[in-house]
Structures are given as C-alpha cells and as structure tokens.
Amino acid sequence: MRRHAALRLLFTIPLTGLIIAGILSAGWLVLGSPTVARGANWFSVTKVGDSEFIGAPDQPFFALVLGNDSRSLEDTGLGDAIHVVGVNPTTKQASILNVPRDTEAPGGGKINAFHSNGGLSATVEQLNRMMGIEIQYAITTNFTGFMAMVDKIGGIDIDVPPVTEGDGQWNDDNTGAFFQPGPQKFNGTQALAFARNRYDFEVTGDLSRTANQARLIIAALATLRAQNPGDTGTLKLVATLASHVTTQNLSLTEMYRLGRLGLTIDPANVKSVTIPVGSGSGGNLSVGAGASELFSDFADDAILQNH
C-alpha cells in the first residue's frame, strides 16, 4: 500500500476513543463495504442528521454513544449507557454530556426505554428535544460487541478512581468489578464490569456509573493515541473491526474526514459532565436545576466553557 493511503488510515483510528465505535466504520477505507458486517455484528453506526461535510470538518457536531443492555442480536435492548458527544473541529476540543438511564425524557417515561421501543432514532429525537441540539451520528453496541471490541484493540489503559464510599476498592459481586484504584489495563470483561458497576456507590449509584462510563471513553481515546500503530498493524486492526459493523446513511468520504479529525483531539481537551437530575415521578429522575444553562453552553459550539 502506498504511504499516503496508509497515513489516511492512521487518521481514522483515534475518533473511536471519542465515540468508541467510529473505528469500526473506518474499516470502509479498506473493505469498501459500508452496509453489511461479514462477522458477528459488534456495532451499529447511523447517520441521523441531514448535513454532510463538504470539505474538512469545520463546524461543531454532535454524536450519540449508546450502550444497550442486550445480550443477543435479536434483542434491541434498553439504552442504559447514554452519552452525547460534542466535537468542535476549530478548537480541537470535545465535551461529553452523560445522561443517567432513568432520566425522564421530554416524551415521558425513562429515556432508556426509547431505544427498546424505537431504536437509535427514537433516542436521538428525545435527546435533541432535551438539549436543544441536532445529533448527526448515533452509535450503539451491546454487551458482547463492547467486550469484543475492547479485546480486539488490545485493551484499555485506565486510571481507576477510588470508590468514594468505603475503603476505596471496587468490590461488586453483581458485575464482577473487583479492582484496586490506580493505573491498569482492562480487557473486555473488565471494561464492561467497570462500566456497569453501580452497587459500590450506595449514595450516588447510577450517577457515578454514568460518569465512569465517560471516563472509559476518554481512556479509550488516550489508549489508541498512545499505541500509534504502524502501517501494517493499522491495516490489520481496521480490516478486522470493519467486518463487525453495520451502518446506515454514511458515505465513505464523510467517515474519512471525520477520522482525520479524530487524531487532533487530545484527551486532555475532552470535558465530561453528568447532567443534573432530581426526583421525578415514580422511579424517574427529573432533569434538574441548572440543566438549561448546561445545555445552552453545550449547544452553541459543543464546548463547555462555563461547566
């Protein structure tokens, strides 16, 4: 392969860390098949907005990263890990708004139920109404797909924070999250356990779990940037991952341009904030005080200047 083509592939890798499954779509550059996964389907990537980059991306845009709780491809699953990512190409900054799964949607009921009833598009519609934005890209994976992707990229390097309640150790029989605080490398099973654990956080519960999921996304970005694989390694990784993604409404050119942008995002310039919530009806969490200011701060340029 010519050197310039290999370098283009290198540009496609880092966006994954920011919106995890972007790396799978980058495989189109090798396989040229944007619709059908040849192996087990790990991710689904959908373009839901109308605009398309004509040249290099230069305007802020938004993407939904959603982890569903399905154990099989036949089950759509609840949208239990919900993260809206905003990227500002001009400033090379990004923001992640984390939405607890029990948050009440503008259409009523819990936000996580919209994925099981209407898929990514239904969840996107509710989040757009909630935040006053237009999400252009949506990505989802289930338990199996998430673990397989993490294992395929060689794991994720992460600095595990101490649990603020108790002795600081992660010790959850429900998810298998048994970790000492500090730097370590997660395989797929460990990463999923980390992302699912809420039982170690008796007070903050799902709020801590949601924030830790975003921590994992940022750690994935840092891990991929640090690997800096050579041409051969990159081709092998991209080709393998591309065989496990299905896509809708995305052009090869658009994904190439998004991939080039990904390399410019430093994890230090990614800010993560969990939206404020309060008590709602039943088991719902209402969108809390201060949320409107947060959403306005996010919507204008995808950067959280005041949060």
pLDDT single digits (tens) 139-190: 888 888 888 888 888 899 999 999 987 788 999 999 999 999 999 999 999 9
| Total domains, the chain | 1
Confidence at residue 52, expressed as pLDDT on a 0 to 100 scale: 58
The backbone torsions φ and ψ at residue 262, rounded to the nearest 5 degrees and listed phi first, read -55, -35
Asked, for residue 176, whether it belongs to a domain, the answer is no
pLDDT tops 90 at residue 7: no
In a domain, 271, yes or no: yes
d(CA 192, CA 144): 9
Tell whether 25 is covered by a domain. Answer: yes
3-state secondary structure 215-258: HHHHHHHHHHHHHCCCHHHHHHHHHHHHCCEEEECCCHHHHHHH
The span from the CA of 208 to the CA of 211, in Å, is 5
Percent of the chain with pLDDT over 90: 44
| Residue 94, domain member (yes or no) | yes
Q: 91-113 burial by CB neighbour count: b if 16+ within 10 A, else e?
A: eebbbbbbbbbbbbbeeeebbbb
Answer whether 85's CB lies under 8 Å from 221's CB: no
Could you tell me the pLDDT band of residue 26, with boundaries at 50, 70 and 90?
Answer: very low
What pLDDT does 240 receive? Answer: 60
d(CA 225, CA 46) in angstroms, rounded, equals 24
With bands split at pLDDT 50, 70 and 90, how would you rate the model's confidence at 221? confident
Spatial contact of 66 and 139, defined as CB atoms under 8 Å apart: yes
Which position has the higher pLDDT, 159 or 254?
A: 159
CB 218 within 8 A of CB 267: yes
pLDDT of residue 36: 37
Is 213 inside any structural domain? Answer: no
Position 132 in a domain: yes
Helices (H), the chain: 3-12, 15-19, 22-25, 28-31, 113-131, 143-152, 188-196, 206-227, 231-242, 252-262, 291-301
Instruction: Write down the pLDDT at residue 48.
Output: 85
In a domain, 218, yes or no: no
Domain containing residue 89: CATH number: 3.30.420.590
Of 132, 5, 135, the C-alpha closest to 66 is 135
Least confidently predicted of 120-129, 192-201, 218-227: 218-227
| Domain boundaries, position 138 | 3-153+230-301
| Structural domain includes residue 71 | yes
How far, in whole angstroms, is CA 200 from its chain's centroid? 23
Strand partners, 79: 68
